[in-house]
Amino acid sequence: MKVAGDAFDRELEDLPPDLRWRTWMGRIEAVIFASAATVPRDDLARVVGQGASVDLLIEDIQAELTGRPYELVAVADGWLMRTRVSFADAIRTAADVNEQLMDLNEFEVAVLAAIAYHQPLTRDGLKDIFGKDISRDLIGRLRTQELIATGPRSPRAGAPYTYLTTQKFLVTFGMESLRDLPDREGLVDAGLAE
């Protein structure tokens, strides 16, 4: 048994295997619950023993959360707790969440999608896609909301800035990576894109 001043006991060798596993599950859930941002797998691995599989522990936590109003999801480069979508109306009704809403209009979402699918993308590239100039103000709003960031300079004359989506973009739209973007051909077939 560890006493005050001892190093953090990751291994929990004094516990029977089933209790050790449950304790590791509790640690992972507590770390993710307490974090305001996604928690990378490497950070979670620091609170469990060397023989523990973070992925299996997360699977067990997810199974226990079935039917609960919140879930543990892989987003961007880690894990986070979020309320299930089916409870969104209840939350909006009971709580003032207006400050947390992105309040993006349809065109801003379209610009984000264009950047996500074609990144790194310049303003000229956006102009080619939309047939009109994209204002610096719109780009500035998306950057202020941390949904896009500047990427490498384009290797063209004048070396214009390029734009990339960010981790916050992935989190906001509930994606683990850009591979989770809808298939472009499927969007065209559904009449949602040209």
- Secondary structure in 3-state letters for 77-134: CEEEEEECHHHHHHHHHHCCCHHHCCCCCHHHHHHHHHHHHHCCECHHHHHHHHCCCC
- Res 192: pLDDT: 55
Using the predicted structure, report yes or no on whether residue 167 has a pLDDT greater than 80.
yes
What is d(CA 183, CA 176) in angstroms, rounded to the nearest whole number? 15
Domain membership of residue 136 as a residue range: 102-189
* 6 lies in some domain: no
- Number of neighbours of residue 28 by Cβ within 10 angstroms: 24
Q: Are residues 81 and 22 in the same domain?
A: yes
**Number of structural domains in the chain:** 2
Q: Which of 46, 63, 87 is the last residue of a domain?
A: 87
Q: Are residues 114 and 139 in the same domain?
A: yes
pLDDT tens digit sequence for 119-133? 999 999 999 988 999
Q: Are residues 164 and 116 in the same domain?
A: yes
The CATH number assigned to the domain holding 56 equals 1.10.10.10
E strand intervals along 24-94: 39-40, 70-75, 78-83
What is d(CA 160, CA 70) in angstroms, rounded to the nearest whole number? 43
Residue 171 makes CB contacts below 8 A (sequence gap 6+) with 38, 75, 76, 80
Task: Flag whether the pTM goes above 0.95.
Answer: no
pLDDT tens digit sequence for 61-107? 999 999 999 999 998 889 999 888 888 788 777 766 555 556 788 88
DSSP 166: -
Express as a percent the part of the chain with pLDDT over 70.
88
What integer is the mean pLDDT of 33-51?
92
Mean pLDDT of the chain: 86
First to last CA, the chain: 64
- Number of neighbours of residue 109 by Cβ within 10 angstroms: 13
Using the predicted structure, report yes or no on whether residue 1 has a pLDDT greater than 60.
no
What integer is the mean pLDDT of 39-67?
95
What is d(CA 168, CA 184) in angstroms, rounded to the nearest whole number? 22
Q: Poorest-confidence range of 61-65, 154-158, 179-183?
A: 154-158
Q: Poorest-confidence range of 30-34, 90-94, 108-112, 131-135?
A: 90-94
Residue 8 makes CB contacts below 8 A (sequence gap 6+) with 47
Q: Are residues 111 and 180 in the same domain?
A: yes
* 36 lies in some domain: yes
What is d(CA 167, CA 176) in angstroms, rounded to the nearest whole number? 9
